[in-house]
Amino acid sequence: MFSDRDDGWWNDGVNFICLPECGRCCDEPGGIVYLSQEDATRIAVHFDMELKEWLTKYCRTTHDGRFVLESKPEDGRCIYLTADKTCSIYEVKPSQCSAFPFWRENLVSDRAWEKTKRICPGIDHPEAIVINGDTIWLKLEEDRLAEEGFRMV
């Protein structure tokens, strides 16, 4: 997809602001959050738990063995999404969450980006600021690395 930093239609920047108390990107049943080993370690430390214990209690694995965050059985939403739609681990949240909406699938074309607006009201919001191409590229890399995931414990 973006094999080179200069491939992106978004190189000149896009308008975005993350709106406090929005939480719509987290409020998706069936969402999958891949974890890098750094993500998992950081969150386990936050809960003062051993990595293996945290992975066993709060994660599951995909068919190819990558760790993903567990969902609530009752509604398929993230286990760390609170009743008031905030993130209870905001300060240590997974890098894929931090990278949203700058995921490869959302930036693959300007059309895909337009579609992402349906989920994310921060895109082209009146208070949005320009997020430059360098920053977007870093977010894409965060997302890519997280999606590669890890399998060992």
List, as own/partner pairs, every contact residues 117-120 make where C-beta atoms lie below 8 angstroms and the sequence separation is at least 24, other chains included. 119/24, 119/25, 119/28, 120/16, 120/24, 120/25
Tally of helices (H runs) and strands (E runs) in the chain = 6, 4
Q: Specify whether the CB–CB gap between 23 and 93 falls below 8 A.
A: no
Tell whether residue 149 is a contact of ligand SF4 (CB under 6 A).
no
Contact 146, 96 (CB under 8 A): yes
Site for ligand SF4 in 62-121 (CB under 6 A): 100-101, 119-121
What character string, x for contact with ligand SF4 (CB under 6 A) and - otherwise, covers 119-138? xxxx----------------
Query: Is 22 one of the binding residues for ligand SF4 (CB under 6 A)?
Result: yes
At closest approach, how far in Å is the CB of 63 from ligand SF4? 27
Query: Closer to ligand SF4 at the Cβ: 27 or 41?
Result: 27
User: CB of residue 61 vs ligand SF4: minimum separation in angstroms?
Assistant: 26
b vs e for 42-68, b when ≥16 Cβ sit within 10 Å of the residue's Cβ? bbbeeeeeeeeebbeebbeeeeeebbb
Q: How far is the CB of 35 from ligand SF4 (least distance, A)?
A: 19
Tokens of 142: 């965060």
Site for ligand SF4 (CB under 6 A): which residue of 13, 15, 25, 59?
A: 25
Choosing from 13, 19, 86, 108, the residue that interacts with ligand SF4 (CB under 6 A) is 19
In the complex with ligand SF4, the residue whose CB is nearer, 79 or 119, is 119
Count of residues for the chain? 153
Q: Contact residues for ligand SF4 (CB under 6 A)?
A: 18-19, 22-25, 100-101, 119-122
